[in-house]
Amino acid sequence: MTLVSGLEISGLDVEVDGKPVLSGIDLSVPSGELHVLLGPNGSGKSSLLAAIMGLPPYRITAGEIRFNGQSLNDLPLCARARLGIGMAFQRPPGLEGVTLEAFAAALSAQDRLTREAAALDLADFTTRQLNVGFSGGEIKRWEILKLMLQDPRLVLFDEPESGVDLEHVIAVGHAIDRIVRAPDTPRTGLVITHTGTILNHVTADRAHILRGGRVIASGAAPTLFAHVQTQGYTAPAA
């Protein structure tokens, strides 16, 4: 794989406590593109995001992950964040005593907080503690706002539509598009999804099917999603 910029994964094997969870993953997401990873529960989708982000206890045993030409394999989580890698978690913890305003101040992003919180209908939440007492939809919108404040170059989204109603899914999908498609800041985006619902509300450049820890198919997002809806998580016939 040869990319000028973006995410490159080649021959990637990952294990947890000695148990293989990913095998032979090859995936390329160029800068400025948004890709979607489809797959059933337990297929390894969240494991792949964790390996990219450098979260324990996921351990790379073969292959390589590169972002903008730099290998991530031996970098700790904090170094990956400094490179501009950010992640919206599926189930983020509550942080008592830390308000949205304090979080933004720590990032010197108070100006972005006012603008982006309003866009995500979170303007009244800036003095609230992070994820404390938030509904499922509010947590998802906060995770998107968090990325906007962090201003990363590679954005990872773990099941952004899970556990929320349609109104919030629409808002989150539009926000994901705004992050990745920002004209002044080229970004690379990877969304993982079980239901595929988010595909109705984002403009994905490409989709991939992950099953049993392996990528079994790649193609145009609408075409691959339509196949999954009728044939399940199988590889389309050649």
pLDDT tens string 62-80 = 999 999 999 999 999 999 9
Decide: pTM greater than 0.85. Answer: yes
| Domain ranges, ordered by start, for the chain | 6-231
Q: Is the pLDDT of residue 211 over 90?
A: yes
Q: What is the mean pLDDT of residues 117-146?
A: 88
pLDDT value at residue 1: 45
SS3 144: helix
Q: From the CB of residue 170, how many other CB atoms can be counted at a distance below 10 Å?
A: 16
pLDDT confidence of 3, banded at 50, 70, 90? Answer: low
CA-CA distance, 95 to 107, in Å (whole number)? 16
Helix or strand run (H / E) with residue 193: strand 188-193
Q: How many CA atoms lie within 13 A of 39 on its CB side?
A: 25
Domain 6-231 has CATH 3.30.930.10: no
DSSP per-residue string spanning 34-98: EEEEE--TTSSHHHHHHHHHT-TTEEEEEEEEEETTEE-TT--HHHHHHTTEEEE-SSPPPEEEE
